[in-house]
Amino acid sequence: MVTSPRPQRATLSPLSWQVRADLFAQLAAMEKSGLPTIQAFGHLRLPPQSQPRVAAARKLLARGTTIADAGRSSGLFTELEANLIDAAASAGSPAPTYRRLADYYTQRAMQARAVRSRLPLPGFLLLAGLFLQPLPALVSGSLSGGRYLLHCLSPLVAIAALAYLGSMLFKQQEGAPSPLRSAIEVVALHTPLFGSMLVRSNIRDFFESLALMVEAGMPILQAVPKALETIRLGTVKAAFGKILPKLTRGSTLAQSLAQIPYLDNGQALALIGTGEASGTLPEMLFRFAAMETESINAFNRQVADWLPRIVYAAVACWVAYGLLSGPGIGTQMPEELR
């Protein structure tokens, strides 16, 4: 059988979390029902703006392209999603990965909606502060109408620019390796709390993908390279890449992972060692991945709860400082009488 060349990865923006949740929930249900892949993609029902990607993926599938490559090149899947699905398909069925991705994106979409629902009040307070702080200077005549508007609107333009930059950086993180992505990774890894959770999510993806393939009977030496493709962070991927030569020389998985700096708490090594000794390695890998998933989800829930409160407190303090340190809103004593 002649293998068709791997399609190029799409440069389209990733689908929204809610659309991705719907996508993988539908694929999981149809895969579980035994519907052939090409027919399953034909039955996908996504928002109209996403349907061209579905049609493109279906055409690629008809040409014999793998599920992962069809989704990647059409823009339906991100690079990480395609790698996870490729690993799961190699293990037998992508249904468990579809379900896990659907659950993950459903939670992220709910958390995003919760954050958005709590941000209007801090946003209103920010707007009020921007327009109220320079108002006394406008009333006194020391500030013209044009400069007043410039003073009020320039912070909004800066905030919009930062939001746009943040969205671009997020897209770079999910894209192909590049110098910009490497720079973003360095910043992300050194961000308090968020950096460690990003590392843990990468490690979770590695172990869960490895568990899927080992459970399906794939030899560990074949499963590890495929599982490595699910790691997005270059430094983490390089660290875990060192275990393959050790496995080739006959070391156990636990022994090969012993020197990985990201596993210094010993929990993963203990479970893996127990699994190898008892012949239940896939079960232990799944157990560790499930524990990490719960910790990551709990962290995301806390971020969704506290982010609006932190924004509100920061804006309130900024407005209060501006009013107390500025000229105020009352009548000011003339300079010559002070």
- pLDDT tens by residue, 223-243: 899 889 888 888 899 999 999
Helices 194-215 and 234-241: angle between axes, nearest 10 degrees: 40
Q: Please give the Cα distance from 219 to 248 (Å, whole number).
A: 12
Q: Which of 126, 37, 24 is nearest to 76 (CA)?
A: 24
Over pLDDT 70: what percentage of the chain?
86
Tokens coding 197: 């959770």
Q: Which of 4, 233, 201, 194 is nearest to 100 (CA)?
A: 201
Question: Cβ of 77: how many Cβ atoms within 10 Å?
Answer: 29
Q: Please give the Cα distance from 20 to 15 (Å, whole number).
A: 6
Q: Please give the Cα distance from 133 to 305 (Å, whole number).
A: 29
Q: Where do the domains of the chain lie? A: 17-107, 175-325
pLDDT of residue 333: 47
- The CA distances from residue 71 to 23, 57, 60, 104, in Å, are 11, 6, 9, 18
Q: Please give the Cα distance from 88 to 107 (Å, whole number).
A: 22
- Whether pLDDT at 329 is above 50: no
Mean pLDDT lowest among 108-112, 251-255, 324-328: 324-328
Average pLDDT over the chain, rounded to whole? 82
Return the amino acid letter for 191.
T
Indicate the pTM of the whole model: 0.65
Q: Which of 49, 45, 27 is nearest to 37 (CA)?
A: 27
Is domain 175-325 annotated with CATH 2.30.30.280? no
User: What is the pLDDT confidence band of residue 81, given thresholds at 50, 70 and 90?
Assistant: confident
pLDDT of residue 173: 52
Question: 17-107: what fold?
Answer: Receptor-associated Protein (1.20.81)
Q: Please give the Cα distance from 201 to 289 (Å, whole number).
A: 9
